[in-house]
Structure 1
Amino acid sequence: MFKEWARSVRYASKFHRKQEIVTFMRQIDDLEIYANLSKFLCDNYRQALKILKSEPELKRWMSVEGIDDYDTFHVWLEEEREYLMGMEDGLPKKREETVEMEYVKRLKNLESSQGRLSSILKAERAALSDRADFNPAPISQVACRHAVEHRNRDAELVQDLEVRLGITQQWTSESPEWILAEKSIMDHRYLDALDEIERIIVERLFEMTKIHQSGTRYKMRRHIAKALQARSKAIRNAIDRYNTVAEEMDPPKPTLSWEEVVNYGFLAEFDILRDTGDSIRSRPWTRRSYRVAMDRYFKILRAKEEIQRLNIEIKRVVTWIEDEDWFLRRKEAEYKDLNPPLAVQISRYRQRRARSDYNHMQRFWALAKTPGFTGSVVPGVSVERQQARHAERASRPQTSREMEMEVVDERERWNSSQEGEWEDDDDEGEEAEQEKVSTLMYQMSVLAVDQDDGRTHQLD
């Protein structure tokens, strides 16, 4: 809509472009925004009522699962928040290694450095056995010296750990202690790779949620899309590292594919996290059924808040409609003799607004008949209007319009006394009669004003 309208002002001057923008936005406010205001409120109200209908089903599920009250959902939400805050730094969780695991690693390093030194010495012995002139190059001497230093350093570290652990005989690859520590090292590597995958999934889920969230601007969407595209290579590398470690496990762990990772909806779908062994394994909110129930509860909670807010906003809109009509009629009568052309324009504006206001009231009256509606469609009385009425009443006798507003006040007091009794059949009949009276009074007021305008034009 805006793109098509922009074509007409593309080559206009700065003044005319601004003028067209203001005129266009005023037209949109009058013909679309204001006309659809009641539709927006009524649709939201019906949507909230539809969500509230699922509360009995949620209570039945809670009784089957042994959940006592709604406070449990808040506890789960707080646990999820703490879990996500713990991953805010973007680093995988660090696990402490045991001294036995460190000892096996040092033994492997000692074995590796000893192998390098043996290969260098073997090459020197092979050269001497050929009875050739052997004049080792400085590089070979440096390599041999470095290999000896590395072997001695690794040997010192191994000896230090043997003293700390009280080991009298050095472990070998066939030792039971070596095998047990080797398994712990593999589990440690597997869990680290799994934590990295978990971090990637959480980051991707947040970014995908942000890119589809309402209020995210075009530039931000493009920025997030580029970040996701650039990170895809890092995700593939993390998946490859995990698959390599998973295949080395005994027994082998399940592997992952790119399609599985990018299609995860939440951590509840990430079944491999059950192998992490930490607290997330036993958290109920990671299960699909529990998470659906938690989401449903918070939707119900928000729906109740939405209904409370809509009850206030609907009352305000109805009061605004009544106050605006009263204000325009008052100004029209005030300028009828002082400035007749202005009075005619006020009358035309009031009639245009009356058409939209009538549609608003029709929607509100239809909403009032909906089971579960707890609001009121009876207009209130604003402070400004109440003060003006007192001032007019003190200056001149009471008019028919003021009598009509007293009837409205009486209806409001009756509605307040009857609030909360919509379920009874008798009350529904009385409420319907009150709505019919409101409709008839509103239509009669519009017709009476139109007749007055017609007589005024004839006299002019």
Structure 2
Amino acid sequence: MLVAALFASVVVTVRALELFRVLQLRCPRMGIQPFVRALCDIHGVAPRPYLSTQFSIAYDVYLAILANVDARVQAALGRDTPNWRLKNACPACMYKLEGEVPIPLPFLATIDGNNSLKQFWRREREEFDADGKSVPGASKERLDNRVAPGDYYLPRDEVDKWSKEGLEELMRGFVPGSEVEDEGEGCTEWWQNMKEDMMARAYGMYDETGIFPALCRHGFLLVVVDMVKSGELAKYGFAVTAHLLRDIGCKYGKMVRMHPALSGLAADNNFRSLVGAFHGHAHNRQCQLSNLATYVSGMGLEDLEGCEKYFSQSNGLAATTRYATAFHRQQAITTYMKHADTVGAYQGLSLLLASKYRRALKIKGTLPLLRQTMASMGVETRSVFETWLQKEKTYLASLKKEPAHETLQMEYYQKLTRRIETQRRHAAEVYVKTLDAVQDLEIRLGGGPRWVPEDREWVEAAAMLRNRRYQRALVIARMFELSKVNMSDTALQARSKGVKSALDTYNTAAAALSPPRTPLTWDQIVDYAFLSDFDLLREGREDIRDEPWAQPGGRLAMDQHFKLLRADEEITRLNLEIPRFITYMADEEAFLIHHEGRLRDNGNTVLAHQVWLQRWERGRFHALHMDRLVKLSKEPGFTVSLLRGVSVNKEREMPAATSAPREDGGEEEEDGGDGDVDVVADALEHILRITA
């Protein structure tokens, strides 16, 4: 049992502490206070506020003891080297075997930010400066320099090394013609949770504003950082990416490739940033064609949305961490994460692998239907779909630029009208600059007299400019997205504000034409399911409604073609991951049995028992895993052996059963003597001092 003082008035048993630990891991919303009150009800005593504090102190000591024991076990097993956990986080991803066939993208990870696990920042009452503006009061947080055990978290100072004001400007200036430059109507305008002003008020209320984790494709946590007084900044992704690349979409990928400190590391490790299936609907169609997993060779059927699934479970911690101290918040998060890896991700690994395999087999079963569709469309080979995809990319790319001569004419017209407006209003200096620009454009247009409002060129350029605004307002790329968005109500809700804004822009431009075009309504757009429904596409620079890749049947067939390609890749990847997992289970079991016996033979029965507990922690699921995989092997189309392989990593090979000699001629004991008792005593004293 654990006591909270030298002269005990309240005793908390280890059994009660372990019961609370396990219950909270299964139900993260349950805090200490309701649990202590339940104990009071069981014992028939009145609840007292100090009981929760005393239980919290005892629980801190208990977790410190568990962490100390775990560290000793890992040291005895030779697993206390830096980043050992990270390098061995997932058996299916990282336990490679001899004789494996290389695949294009050998390791897949997903990163994302989540602002549910905030930590409230205790402050004094707000103050007011000389101008009468409110100023946040001084912090009232208790000083607590304890750090949660484990290596899940990257330290703040490590993350802050990647912070840089004006980061995008730095990227543009680093290499001429950098890919970081915006591509017209890119994805940045839609990525609302990257904008600081949306959470400005929250930053004054919270210190840690959420977490930014990285997970492998099987849901094992690799590393996590705290978001501090901010939303999803690039520095969090940079810090996590650098950590992963050293040890094991879209705009973010470009920034990584152009970052002075990351570009070489990313190139050496064949790094590529992609867009998840759910988040893909928040990116424009041109970005999707390059970065959506469906169109990337080697991705398989991975949706890259493991973080969203993880957050749906970890969000329950918010109820108990929102008003906790910084240390207790991080302690609760790391305790939960370790449990989620050991009992959550590991327990469900075989089920996940089997589900992925069955899904891939189901998709492969649609090949005859695709062939029938191709025959009805007159498509001879599936390679045509690759050509269609490239045509769509080319078409969307062409929307970004008008013909050079027309661009000059419209720019000249705009400069002329700006000159007249400037003359009519003010600013002689601006007038001179505009006049210089007008003269330059006149030279580039081949000379000739200056246009005036009565000239034919003036009228044509004005009409051309109105038409350009109208055509740009068509946001044709957005229409490609809408044909997908109607498949996801959630995505439509997320994009509704942006689509409505584009709709307002379109209607304004349509009203300016002569004659005015018929305005569109929100209900009309929502009802449109295919590109062919958008009759206004005929008024674009190029009418693509009759293109086969723009037809409903053609687009469905093209999507099915890419799904089949990804299904083949998924099976290839799973044919590597399943033998890895089977081999890992056998090797890990044998390794732990060996060391358990070694420690027991050396007389260290206590540590041997702890190794047995670690073996039991995961080993209890092995029979369930094999049962699932054996059932999967009976499925038609299953093409991998369930036999044990040979690992590339020789770490689990049985070492010689020898002990280090002591100076007095005896054998070195494994338990470290009374030093660990002193460590725990010091930890208890430290906790009591902080509490007082």
TM-score of the aligned structures, taking structure 1 as reference length: 0.54
Q: 1:381 is matched with which residue: 646, 650, 653?
A: 646
- Asked whether 1:80 is paired with 2:392, we answer yes
Amino acid at match of 1:56: P
Cα deviations by residue, 1:316-348 (Å, 9 ceiling, x for unpaired): 111111111111111111111221111112112
Map of 1:25-424 to 2, 5 A cutoff? 25-88=337-400, 195-199=471-475, 201-203=476-478, 206=481, 227-241=498-512, 244-246=515-517, 256-274=520-538, 278=542, 280-338=544-602, 339-385=604-650, 388=653
Contact 1:322 1:379 in 2 (8 A): yes
Cα–Cα, structure 1 residues 239 and 263, in superposed 2: closer, same or farther, change >3 Å?
farther
Amino acid at match of 1:334: R
Distance 1:65 1:258 in 2: 33
Q: CA deviation at 1:21?
A: 2.1
Among 324, 330, 355, the residue aligned to 1:18: 330
Contact map agreement 2:346 2:618 (CA 8 A) in 1:
no
Structure with greater proportional strand content: 2
**Aligned partners of 1:284 and 1:290 also within 8 Å:** yes
Distance 1:236 1:326, change over 3 A: same
Q: Which amino acid aligns with 2:544?
A: I
SS at match of 1:280: coil
Q: Structure 1 residues 292 and 62, CA, compared in 2 at 3 Å: closer, same or farther?
A: same
Would you tell me which structure has more helix in proportion to its own residues?
Answer: 1
CA-based RMSD of the aligned residues comes to 4.2
- Shift in alpha-carbon separation, 1:93–1:236, aligned structure 2, 3 A: farther
Identity percentage over the alignment? Answer: 33
Aligned length: 296
**1:189: how far off?**
10
Shift of 1:65: 2.4
| Partner Cα distance (2:542, 2:404) in 1 | 12
Paired residues of 2:467 and 2:513 also in contact (CA < 8 A): no
Q: Verify the 8 A CA contact 1:319 1:381 in the aligned structure 2.
A: yes
Which has the higher Rg, Structure 1 or Structure 2?
1
Give a deviation string over 1:175-219, Cα, whole Å, max 9, x none.
xxxxxxxxx99x9899768734532x4236659979999xx9xxx
Q: Among residues 314, 318, 343, which one is paired with 1:6 in the alignment?
A: 318
Compute the displacement of 1:232 (Å).
Answer: 4.2
Aligned residue identity for 2:346: Y
Q: CA deviation at 1:277?
A: 8.0
Distance 2:486 2:580 in 1: 35
Question: Following TM superposition, by how much is the alpha carbon of 1:388 offset from its aligned partner in structure 2, in angstroms?
Answer: 3.3
Tell me by how many angstroms 1:231 deviates: 4.1
- The amino acid of 1:24's aligned partner reads Y
Question: 3-state DSSP class of the match of 2:621?
Answer: helix
Letter in 2 for 1:344: H
Structure 2 Cα separation of the partners of residues 384 and 54 of structure 1? 39
Q: Give 1:238's aligned amino acid.
A: A
Gaps of 5+ in 2: 1-312, 408-451, 658-692
The separation in 2 between residues aligned to 1:190 and 1:284, in whole angstroms, is: 30
Distance 1:227 1:208, change over 3 A: farther
CA contact (8 A) 1:51 1:299 kept: yes
For 1:262 and 1:239, how far apart are their aligned partners in 2? 19
1: CA distance between counterparts of 2:486 and 2:552?
A: 24
Q: 1:242 to 1:55 in 2, by over 3 A?
A: farther
Q: Which amino acid aligns with 2:362?
A: K
State the SS of the aligned residue for 1:348.
helix
Q: CA deviation at 1:54?
A: 0.7
CA shift in 2, pair 1:67/1:345, >3 Å: same
| CA 341–277 in structure 1, closer or farther in 2 if over 3 Å, else same | closer
Aligned counterparts of 2:478 and 2:368: Cα–Cα separation in 1 = 35
Give the aligned residue type for 1:46.
R
Q: Deviations over 1:320-379 (max 9, x none)?
A: 111111111111111112211111121122123122122111111111111111122222
Q: Is the 8 A contact 2:531 2:552 kept in 1?
A: no
TM-score by length of 2: 0.37
Match of 1:27, SS? helix
**How far off is 1:281 after superposition?**
4.4
Structure 1 segments unaligned to the other structure (5+ residues): 98-152, 161-183, 248-254, 394-460
For 1:66 and 1:49, the matched residues in 2 are separated by 27
- Given that residues 332 and 343 in structure 1 are in contact (C-alpha distance below 8 angstroms), is that contact kept between their aligned partners in structure 2? yes
Separation in 1, partners of 2:527, 2:514: 18
Distance of 2:453 and 2:500 partners within structure 1: 44
Amino acid at match of 1:331: H
* 2:620 counterpart SS class: helix
Mark the CA change 1:267 to 1:190 in structure 2 (over 3 Å): closer, same or farther: farther
Summarize deviations over 1:208-244 as a string: whole Å, max 9, x none.
979999xx9xxxx98x665445444323323545795
User: What does residue 237 of structure 2 align with?
Assistant: none
Q: Specify the SS of the correspondent of 2:614.
A: helix
What is the CA–CA distance in structure 2 between the aligned matches of 1:207 and 1:55, rounded to whole Å? Answer: 26
Alpha carbons 2:317, 2:333 under 8 Å: kept: no
CA distance in 2: counterparts of 1:269 and 1:230, whole angstroms: 20
Which AA in structure 1 matches 2:583?
Answer: T
